[in-house]
Amino acid sequence: MTTLFCDVILFDLDGTLVDSHVVVERQWRIWAARHGLDGDMLLGMVHGRKADESMRMVAPHLDIAKEAALLAAAETADLDGVVAIPGMSDLLRALPSDCWAIATSGSHSIATARLKHVGLPVPNVLVTADDVTNGKPAPDPYLLAARRMDK
């Protein structure tokens, strides 16, 4: 067994704490079809990015703020297939609540809906796409989460 000594742990959400790929792929395919775009091509670039950044890359002519809000609402409402990654519930409940945070490319509404749906705690510090200008892969979400942890 490996022992890790640290003051803070910053987690990603999707693919680390929850498996939401079914919903992400379903909703992006619906969005792509609605706009005449290739869903497979789109899925190759959206994972881990802010929705508005992905949309700007493939459909800059659209009202990006409106489209991102519509997609966020659809992903927030669609929880069919979202599951906790095995072992994460036990891990998070074993950690002191002031020692871990989440930094995600999803919106606050999506993140909290997914956490609640799978029965995982919502952390005191939750940095989402709503909080940063530059989403992942830029380090901004993690840097902001670390600052908010104030450790």
* 48 neighbors 103 (Cβ within 8 angstroms): no
Nearest-5° Cα angle at 9, 4 to 12: 125
**Ramachandran class of 145: left when φ > 0, alpha when ψ lies in -120 to 50, beta otherwise:** alpha
- Rounded CA-CA distance 82/146 in Å is 27
Alpha-carbon distances of 21 from 40, 59, 144, rounded to whole Å: 14, 22, 25
Catalytic residues: 12, 14
